[in-house]
Amino acid sequence: MQQISPPHSLEAEMGLLSACLYKPELLGKAVVELQEEDFYDERHRLLFSALKSLYSESGVLDAAILLEHLKKRDILEKVGGIPYLSEIFDRVRGTISLALFEQYLKIVKDKSIKRGIINTFSETVRLAYEDELDSDTLLDRAEKEIFDMRMRTIRGTQWIPVGEIAMNLLNKLEARVSGELPHEAVPTGFRHLDEITGGFRPGEWIIVAARPSVGKTAFVLNVHRNMALSGIPTAMFSLEMSAEAIAMRMLSMESGIPMYNLREGRIGPKDLPRLADAVERIMEMPFYIDITHGIDIFEIRSKARMVVKEYGVKMISVDYLQLMDLKGLRARNMTRAEELAKISRSLKILAGELNVSIVGISQVSREVEKRADKKPTMADLRESGALEQDADIILLLYRPGRYDKDVDETLVEVDVAKNRQGALGTVKLHFYAERMRFVDWEEEDESIEELEGDSMPF
């Protein structure tokens, strides 16, 4: 049987090395994106290493300097000798375009990643046949290596003149003013919150945090609902609640029938038309839910890519972060705070990669309850300061009526504690907990009442 060679391109490797010799400035770009192991041919690995060493020492490269370097280290013959070096020197014949160099670079990197995939799965198959490791360990190992390879595909840098960036931004702003370009940010549906944040922008990593029973999941569900009613597709990973529990919240939210009545079946004939209307509206919502419990970061990444590609979602939420599993990213003796830091960074990277906003629901430390001032701060984000560091927006929810009977029990304060793209501030909302509904706090009428029966405002 004929043996199949792993993916490689000797021509691209030779062309890349030749280009680096004639234009040393190109070597700087190659060093950022490639390592010696990315070259299939051992001779090319040695040559790339030699070029890196010479360039770091003096920043000067040519054939004579390289030849002397190889002779001194007694590796001239290992790289093919003078005949093979001459072939590489002549590969581009002294002329090389940036476009051609980048094509060589892309090919070498692509072949290297494919070989890495082959090696990873070949080794996984071998270990599976040996049957000494459990399946979870094997999957963790494969997932980690695949994740590392994925990170390599977005590695690299590109320097852009700030003037070019400013001109592109001006063009976008002019197009937006003229109505030719839609706003990238998606509104939350809460007017005062959108005035501060500008909505949720593509690529943003957003944290919504509060103590238990404050309404953080209900708040995020209301954001999903508001976006869906505006025709904006969204998706949610629910790591805690069942599909039926979410559907019941949505039904209560949409129909105005209290959750308790739905849960206990305390509904009458007059409620059925309202429920039917609510179901009809919900069925039209572009809102997609995944209820896989115990999901890990790799599965979330994979499913997020699919739902963005298939349904064009603009926002993804995860309820909630402390229930996520690190699995393949876990290292020995890693604390939960360190695990959560890796999860946070991975979701932030995913938001940028998919160009969507990702909302993570998080617990707030119980230490808040021991203070005189129960209002949470960013320092109270449970288990990890990385959430505070990574997030683009942090929203902290607080219900003062839980601690002060003189305060309207429906009041929820949403503290915009961090906002990379804009202002900070606190927004007031009404939270009608029985019906899972958040509505704007109308400053001109702060006595919004819950109305019963057919006169309910929902």
Model pTM above 0.85: no
What local confidence, expressed as pLDDT, does residue 326 receive?
Answer: 60
Domains of the chain and any CATH numbers: 10-153 (1.10.860.10), 184-455 (3.40.50.300)
Residue 247: which residues within 8 A CB-CB, separation 6 or more? Answer: 282
User: What value, to the nearest 5°, has the Cα angle with vertex 420 and ends 171 and 383?
Assistant: 145
What local confidence, expressed as pLDDT, does residue 448 receive?
Answer: 35
What local confidence, expressed as pLDDT, does residue 233 receive?
Answer: 95
What local confidence, expressed as pLDDT, does residue 450 receive?
Answer: 37
What local confidence, expressed as pLDDT, does residue 303 receive?
Answer: 86
What local confidence, expressed as pLDDT, does residue 437 receive?
Answer: 92
User: Do 216 and 361 meet the contact criterion of CB atoms below 8 Å apart?
Assistant: yes
Residue stretches of the chain with pLDDT short of 50: 157, 328-329, 331, 443-458
Active site amino acids: 240
C-alpha 114: how far from chain center: 24
